[in-house]
Chains A and B, each alone.
Chain A
Amino acid sequence: MSDTHAQTVAFVRETEIPEAAPPYAATGPVKWMRENLFATPANALLTVVAAYAIYLILAPTLPWILNGVWTANSLAECREILQGATGACFAVLTERWPQLLFGFKYPSELYWRPSLAFVLLFVAVAPVLFFDLPRKLLIFTGLFPFIAYYLIWGGTIFVPILALVGCLGGYAVYQRFVTGSFAAGFFGGIAAALLIWYIGGLLIPDGASENAMLTPVPSRDLGGFMLNMMLGVTCVSLSIPIGIALALGRQSSMPLIKVVCVVFIEFIRGVPLITLLFVASVMLSYFFPPESTVDLFLRVVIMITMFSAAYIAEVIRGGLAALPKGQYEAADSLGLDYPQAMRLIILPQALKISIPGIVNVAVGLFKDTVLVSVISMFDLLGMIRGPILASTEWNGVYWELLGFASLLFFVVCYGISQYSQWLERRLATDHR
């Protein structure tokens, strides 16, 4: 065999054959489509069905959005401009923009105040959300509630200053006594703050609000998306410390404290938020001293805070339960007392585990703030369903308005959940 061939070789390749391109169907987009869209006949059918579903969704909505009218003064004018063609009437958003954001009673010359507070909110929240920023910014975060209160409600500047002084005084007392005993520092701080507020309250002159630098705005004039943001931010930030306290109380070895916390948490979690809002709107005022007038906003804040505190407590309890028992024992064996062990060893780890859960509760709570429209507060949804859709100009522009509200909530909630996933990756200190 070899004889004949050895003699008759006409050509011997001396270089390697250049690499041929892979077959057409095994590379690039075709390969990707074969693997991901048309792997099996059933899969291909699924793709076709899905593509048809997407077509069904996009076919009417896309021209509707692209054809939208952005400047008009009423729905009738919109229809004139469109002349029968499909198209959205986004003019309602531009025309009613301030109402959607601030409600219909907030004085229009004062819109800069809540807007400024909104911008400052990002500055204040940034150092809490991103650890790489300079820690000094946290001072501004501490000041922000007082600034925001002053900007949104206006009135005399003495109120926020007094509140701030009370907090600072309480903090100073806490720092002074906490080295001795946590309880002494904590309760001493609260007592000092209350004392300062009480004395200061007597000092503020009665008519201070009338001729103040910033015109006072009553709470019932707040509305629009501003109200949702305010309720969401306030209630979440207030409910985290309360939730931690409830979670620790539920784990406590003292039967009385434990029972109180369990009853509170289970009761709040067992009823829908709307009944709690009913409590805020029709029932809670019976429990305040007869001559006091606590406005609806504050009552709603109290009830929503209680609501979210109960849920956050359950999340944190999960975090506490997930910690290995060795951590508790190690803290004990170091000779730390209960507050020290909690502050230095247990809570930092437990809170880290509970971050996704807390963010879930925060997102849920922010979505639930639209429920206040049911007790006739004019938040974003209340504005849409009430003054705007009921007006003669814009009667019937459902989809633009509801779509706008959905988009706003989607952006905020999706943003928060993406942040929480980033934070989880960031805080992952275990090796995998």
Chain B
Amino acid sequence: MTTLTDPPRESFRLSMLINDTRYRSLTFQAIALLVLIIAFAYLTNNLLTNLAAAGLNIAYDFLGSPAGYDINQTLVEYDSQSTHARAAVVGILNTLLVAFLACITATVFGVIAGVLRLSNNWLVSKLMAFYVEIFRNIPVLIWIIIIFTIMTAVLPGPREFRGDNPTSTMLLDLFAFTNRGIYIPAPVWGPGSMVVVATFIASVIGVIAYRRYATNLLYATGRLLPMGWPSLAIFFVPTILMFYIMGRPIGLDVPELRGFNFQGGIKVGGPLIALWFALSVYTGAFIAENVRAGIQAVSKGQTEAASALGLRPGRVMNLVVLPQALRVIIPPLISQYLNITKNSSLAIAVGYADITATLGGITLNQTGRAIECVLLLMLFYLTISLSISAIMNVYNNSVKLKER
């Protein structure tokens, strides 16, 4: 950074280690290395002494022994005889599940709130500003607990759905909101349902193919095919037709009250809902600000220029504003996704069995393997974070303005 001209060559003296910029950085680094080694040696020595005093050692074989505890919400086979490693896998999947769900809903909330905050409607924009400020300035842990309290203390128990004149009823006769969790209908795949699913996938591919064909045609000949209703038609019509042709093979397993609780359907536990919803609304407030900043970053001249070219408002949005706004929005959006993943570790406060609650909570307490568990926990989160930031770097490079 600084060297201007080569100083005259002279023989090496000891004082040059301090006074000569060529050697000074080497001196500093040598000192820093020394300090680092001493610090590490000191900490390792303390660690070994303490472990020896407590009669412990660092070993990971506890992962293979039976966990001995139950997990109420699992995506894979698990029982109390499974190993600690299996419990950790269950935790990892649960973390990924809630993070994935929350990312989707947070994006939806954030985009809606961010766009509406720019609305000309005074009431709506103020309401959205209120939403953003209220959720951004209160800790997410408090939101998780508030929503969990709603789930457990306010929602009715299954008993209140009973009788001829129940105090609570199921929503549309399909969904039951109880304090033990939310019961939703489960699809039942009858014979021939695969044909319907295949038709559905084929029609999704068909929509993409049609839109690509229309775009290519537009660029090649200037002929504009309608986009909206043919896409919708291709998306829905074949699947619905096939559904009836095959004799309605896909049914619904609706939850119903049997005994003391609801049976059938899919049960989504209260902790999952609380975590999912709290992370969504909390992060949604941050995403709303990102979206607003992104839209405002597109200068008004761009919109005006597009209008001057004769584009309709919808096209101005799609072809001019959004591509430029997305360049600004996406990097902070991805780091918000990262935050969701990290904040999902707060699951431990409401008893959702994510990786922090299984590996860092129950396994740690049962086996007493604090160092190993915490290290594995950190390794997992670090892997997720680094892979997401790697994806972000690839994206940033791909949308970078190509400058000369």
Contact = CB atoms under 8 A, between A and B. Distances in A.
A50 B133 CA distance: 17
Nearest to B379: A271
Given A255-B29, A282-B370, A410 B134 contact: yes
Contacts of A374: 141, 346, 348-349
Given A275-B345, A283-B370, A287-B47, A257 B32 contact: yes
Main secondary structure of the interface of B (DSSP, over half): helix
Nearest to A255: B29
A266 B386 CA distance: 8
A290 B49 contact: yes
B360 interface: yes
Contact of B29 (A51, A254, A288, A385): A254
A275 B378 contact: yes
B139 A46 contact: no
A282 B43 contact: no
Contacts of A328: 1
Interface in A384-407: 385, 396, 398-399, 402, 405-406
Interface string B331-358: 0000000000011011011000000100
Contacts of A338: 2
Interface string B138-161: 111110011001000100000000
A78 B79 CA distance: 45
Given A275-B381, A410-B134, A381 B142 contact: yes
Contact of A275 (B29, B140, B145, B374): B374
B398 interface: no
A25 to B, nearest CB: 17
B25 A253 contact: yes
Nearest to A411: B137
Which residue, A36, A54, A363, has most C-beta atoms of chain B within 10 A?
Answer: A36
A274 B121 contact: no
A46 B32 contact: no
Interface in A31-61: 35-37, 39, 43, 46-47, 50-51, 53-54
A51 B364 CA distance: 50
Interface residues of B, number: 54
Contact of B137 (A285, A288, A409): A409
B138 A50 contact: no
B93 to A, nearest CB: 17
B16 interface: no
B149 A254 contact: no
B53 A290 contact: yes
Given A36-B121, A256-B32, A288-B46, A381 B145 contact: yes
A275 B119 contact: no
Nearest to B43: A287
A47 B134 contact: no
Given A270-B382, A367-B138, A402 B149 contact: yes
B377 A275 contact: yes
A283 B371 contact: yes
A399 B384 CA distance: 36
A198 interface: no
Given A253-B1, A367-B138, A370-B142, A278 B360 contact: yes
Interface string A257-284: 1001000001101111111001100110
A402 B348 contact: no
Which residue, A39, A270, A396, A409, has most C-beta atoms of chain B within 10 A?
Answer: A270
A256 B121 contact: no
A385 B145 contact: yes
A43 B119 CA distance: 9
B16 to A, nearest CB: 15
B145 A36 contact: no
A179 B346 CA distance: 50
B302 interface: no
A274 B356 contact: yes
Contacts of A279: 374
A413 interface: yes
Contacts of A398: 146, 149, 153
B217 interface: no
A371 interface: yes
A261 B53 CA distance: 33
Contacts of A130: none
B338 to A, nearest CB: 9
Given A271-B382, A289-B46, A290-B49, A371 B119 contact: no
Contact of A271 (B33, B120, B385): B385
A37 B142 contact: no
Contact of A402 (B136, B140, B142, B364): B142
B218 interface: no
B365 to A, nearest CB: 9
Given A275-B381, A282-B370, A282-B374, A260 B43 contact: no
B121 A270 contact: no
A286 interface: yes
A52 to B, nearest CB: 11
Contacts of A368: 139
Interface in B18-43: 25, 28-29, 32-33, 36, 43
24 contacts: A35-B120, A47-B121, A47-B123, A50-B127, A51-B123, A54-B127, A254-B29, A256-B32, A260-B36, A271-B382, A272-B345, A273-B342, A278-B364, A278-B377, A282-B364, A286-B47, A287-B47, A290-B46, A290-B53, A367-B137, A368-B139, A374-B141, A385-B145, A414-B137
Interface of A: 35-37, 39, 43, 46-47, 50-51, 53-54, 253-257, 260, 266-267, 269-275, 278-279, 282-283, 285-290, 328, 332, 338, 363, 367-368, 370-371, 373-374, 381, 385, 396, 398-399, 402, 405-406, 409-410, 413-414, 417
Please provide the 10 A-B residue pairs with the shortest distance between their CB atoms, ordered closest to farther: A270-B385, A36-B122, A413-B137, A272-B342, A282-B370, A367-B139, A272-B345, A270-B382, A256-B29, A271-B381
Interface of B: 1-2, 25, 28-29, 32-33, 36, 43, 46-47, 49-51, 53, 119-124, 127, 133-134, 136-142, 145-146, 149, 153, 342-343, 345-346, 348-349, 356, 360, 364, 370-371, 374, 377-378, 381-382, 384-386
Given A266-B386, A286-B50, 13 more contacts: A35-B120, A50-B121, A50-B124, A271-B382, A282-B370, A283-B370, A290-B46, A370-B139, A371-B141, A398-B149, A402-B149, A406-B138, A410-B138
